A and B are shown apart, each in its own frame.
Chain A
Amino acid sequence: MSESTGKSSVSSLKHICQTRLDDLVRSVEGLQMAIIASDNGFPLASINLDSREGRRVTTLGSSLTDSARKVCSELNLVGLHSATLETDTGMALCRLVDNKVLPMLLMVIIEGDAGGYVQWSVRKCATDLAYSLNQLAVSGKGEGETVQPV
């Protein structure tokens, strides 16, 4: 892959992620921040976060899913989809985006009475994102992508 092709595929990847996050923000009330990152912790798109904070949050999300995978494995459960932490006033939700381009995490922090609608919206966002990424893989623009720190 040439350098220019590589750059354009990374930018289309980031564009898809940012579009999905924008859709999520419009549909959910009380969303404090949201971020999509590679599962090893490199941010791809975010809402209400600067880049430094973004890296800190994705590192936390990455540790959370890693630990959640270990708990599931101890309990003989395979295929982790999400890990949700609930607090008095909201929740932190980390969802894996299963796709053919790059293993990704969608992390969202919601304030207020976060009911089932939020869970549904985040799941839909991850499913829609996976669909778009798989389309990108079919078109050959993003397959085998490696994301480096920005």
Chain B
Amino acid sequence: MQDESSLTNNPQLKALCHSALTELAEKSQSMRVAIIATMDGFPLASLNLDPTESRRVTAMSAAFSGLSTRIIQELQLPSLEGAVLESSEGLVLCRQISNNLMPLVLLVVTGKDENYGFALLAVKRTAVELGESLNALKLSASAS
């Protein structure tokens, strides 16, 4: 695995993440915010958030993700795949992006009119497709 700090500054990686978020926004009915970040809270790409807000949100989601993982371990359940928070004003969907480069997380906030099942499916699909693209990116980097 490559050095994480060099990876988070990689423009190719950032462009890939940004394009995944843009595609997701096109499919979604009422997406408000979307971020891709490292598991320790460093934002790689975001939609509808300024950089300061991105850091604040990803730091909070990293803390939530850490607690969720701990709860899953305590309950003796297998590894965490994602989390969904349902509120009166919308959904927060958080999904691990499984890949060979580094642990990443996709966080999406929707409006209250979003369909739960559709949003969940779209976020799951984006995470899987992005994971595959990141693995391919690693292959191309190794080949060069």
Q: Give residues in A with beta carbon < 8 Å to B.
A: 56-57, 60, 63-64, 67-68, 70-72, 74-90, 92, 109, 116, 119
Q: Are the C-beta atoms of B85 and A80 separated by less than 8 Å?
A: yes
Knowing A63-B71, A71-B61, the reply to whether A86 touches B33 (Cβ < 8 A) is no
* B67 engages A67 (CB within 8 Å): yes
Interface size on B, residues (CB 8 A): 31
B134 at interface (Cβ–Cβ under 8 A)?
Answer: no
Q: Do residues A82 and B85 form an inter-chain contact, with CB atoms below 8 A?
A: yes
Besides A78-B88, A83-B86, A119-B116, 7 more A-B contacts (Cβ < 8 Å) are: A60-B74, A76-B89, A80-B85, A81-B86, A84-B84, A84-B86, A85-B77
- The reply to whether A64 and B68 form a contact with Cβ atoms under 8 Å apart is yes
Q: Which residue of A lies closest to B84 (CB)?
A: A84
With a cutoff of 8 Å between Cβ atoms, the chain A residues found around residue B11 in the complex are none
Indicate if the CB atoms of A81 and B88 lie closer than 8 Å. yes
Given contacts A74-B57, A83-B85, A84-B83, are A63 and B92 in contact (CB under 8 A)?
Answer: no
Q: Would A68 and B74 count as touching, CB distance under 8 A?
A: no
CB distance from B46 to the nearest CB of A (A): 13
What's the dominant secondary structure at chain A's contact region? Answer: mixed
Asked if residues B85 and A68 are in contact (CB atoms below 8 Å), the reply is yes
Per-residue CB contact flags for chain B residues 97-124 toward chain A (1 = under 8 Å, else 0) read 0000000000001000000110000000
A-B contact pairs, 14 of them (CB 8 A): A57-B75, A60-B75, A64-B68, A68-B64, A71-B60, A72-B92, A76-B89, A77-B109, A85-B68, A85-B71, A87-B72, A90-B77, A92-B72, A92-B75
Does B80 sit within 8 A of A, measured CB to CB?
A: yes
Q: How far is the CB of B76 from chain A (nearest CB, A)?
A: 10
* B84 and A80 form a contact (CB under 8 A): no
Which residues in A have their C-beta under 8 angstroms from that of B90? 77
